[in-house]
Structure 1
Amino acid sequence: MSMNRYRNIAYDHGLIQAIFEDIPSGSEEEDTSDDETLVDVDRLTEEPTTPDSDFQPRWRKRIYDVKLAHFQGEQPGPSSAMTDLTEITPSAVFVKLVGIEMLESIVYQTSLCAIQKGKPFKHTTDRELKIFLGMNLLMGMKKQASYQDYWYTDPYFRDNYNANAMNRDRFTCFFLSNHISDNYNMPNRNVPNYDRLYKIIPLIEHLNKQFQTCYNPSNTGH
């Protein structure tokens, strides 16, 4: 279907007139001397098929005065909290971004969750938690059909890097018990203001504050 046919159909159904019917013409009382004729329906439809082809819509100029707030702050980019790190390693940067307090909280909640489930679980540490998180990141890049396949006995399928970092049973305990919030304090779904993000809200709120201390934004949003 050609472009001209599309335009004629739009004109036959009054679509073009409906679009411009509320736009003031030059005959109205308001001052439109500064307006420009940006759209000519005759040129738009090329060969109009209705008697209203003399209609000449006019666009009204509107100038918006956007006032930008005066930007105050440090030099945009990583803050001194990041640049002053004595050890620039992936682990050090990760700990600084997430915060040792949050890692310790996850360690506590993970052990608590295992106890609440009545399962035997040796209390973990922040070091072991970082190993577990690092393994999950690597598993996201090197995927297996099942997470248990990383400990496969066949050397062609086994992932020695992950398998040697933590044994399968310990990883499974972490996988089933890893928690951020106490399940016993979770509100009922039927109560007002129930938040579906209850289990991760502490992490979201903490990261929002932590990232603000690690990076200085610019006034351009980049």
Structure 2
Amino acid sequence: MERAEMKILLVDDNLSLLDQIRQILTSQRYIVETVSNGEEALDKLCENPFDLIILDIMMPKMDGFTVLREMRQIKIDAPVLMLTAKGDSTDKVKGLDLGADDYLSKPFSMDELLARVRALLRRSAGQCQSVLEFGELALDTVNRKVTMGGKPVELTPREFSILEFLLHNKDRVVTRFSLAEHVWGDDFDPFSMSNFMDVHMKNLRHKIGDTGNARIIRTVRGVGYIIGDTE
């Protein structure tokens, strides 16, 4: 978990969602300030430093794109996680071009939101490692290579994404839904593709030699998967 004094500015005009996200973030010991329009957001950013900004796009008075453009122009370089309309790739591309660091499509799971928040805070604090490791397993996020005991492991892009997401969340249980949302996005249908995920997981385990009692990827029955310790 990141330091308790990590400060997050949450900006969204959906007051119900705003309160829901605030409660989730504060339960993880983040300090959270909330505003419901772009003008207030820019005022807050000029008054106080934040470690992360979660920024909706469609808002009254000033939209998220304008807030992002203005804050980057005045050299506020805190990471920005943009909340976009479901499946709207145009918004995603525009946000990234303006200086956003990541995006999340509505509706989203809170597990996925927390994973993105943790990743951005680690990156901004200089703690993001290019190589993720667990025992003899190593995943290079830059060169997109996996080794087991120093020997290369050939994975499909989907298998690589599954393993990368689990390693980024090492020692935390990842739900099947948040894993599916991360790897397949809006294309995943939980009703028709559940077995599809099981096949990918089985193939991944086979390729990394994940057999026997001391498994690398452990199944948490009824919830999801974990690499590491559940304690």
Q: Is the shorter-chain TM-score for this pair beyond 0.5, marking a shared fold?
A: no
- Asked which structure has the greater CA Rg, the reply is 1
Higher helix share: 1
TM-score (norm 2): 0.25
Higher strand share: 2
Greater relative contact order: 1 or 2 (C-alpha under 8 angstroms, separation 6 or more)?
Answer: 1
